[in-house]
Amino acid sequence: MKDRTGMLATGLLSIAALILMVAGFMVWDQPVLEAVAAGAAQDWKAVARFLSRYGDFPFLLAAGAVALAVSLRLRAASRSRILTAMILAGIIAGLASNGVKLGAGRVRPRVEQVAHGWYGPKHGDQWVSLRHDFQSFPSSHAACAFGFFWPLFLSRRRLGAAGLLLAAAIAWSRVQLNAHHVSDVAAGALLGIVIGWLVWRWIVPQAGLSGWLGGQSAPTGGVNPAPFR
């Protein structure tokens, strides 16, 4: 995918995630929370637990690292660039989301002993944002998953679309398990998409890290060395 086309796709999906986040704040967060608490999609709890556990970044990182090692061994430079972009984007999105959490201090939906709301990094004499119950916004699962799969979508449309569906399912699992609000996962997705595009743009079209991954730098305004399928 050309850099300009990638920017357009990133912009459109970012706007969609932003709209979903605002809609969550204004309308959907509380009704969805109440529906989940009342047992909505209860039969899918096991699926949600599976996705939440194995969709966390350590498992994505492990899969990406194994695939990258194989690609480097086979000297598949274009594939190695894509996988490197995926891994780096997931790491950076995860770190960024956790940084935001420390300042937001939003209470997780499943917490009952504390009034829901935004407490900031410190409430009274306690640093509440360091506690897991106050780390709802944004969802790191969503940020990591969308950050991980967005460079793949920008490079390999069909395979990347399947990855984005998996990222959306991981985000859903966090809402279904009462770990996050709709707005939390939308914010995480937005963060992952933007970071995913920035990392992809540097590594794939512009051939960043070319000395390590192999191949020459792309021309100015370069094109993805791998075909967009």
For residue range 80-99, what is the model confidence (pLDDT) as tens digits?
A: 999 999 999 999 999 999 99
Q: What is the pLDDT of residue 98?
A: 94
* pLDDT < 50 regions, the chain: 216-229
Q: What is the 3-state secondary structure (H, E, C) of 28-67?
A: HHHHHHHHHHCCCCHHHHHHHHHHHHHCCHHHHHHHHHHH
| Model confidence pLDDT, tens digit, residues 46-70 | 999 999 999 999 999 999 999 999 9
Cα–Cα distance for residue pair 83/152, rounded to 1 Å: 8
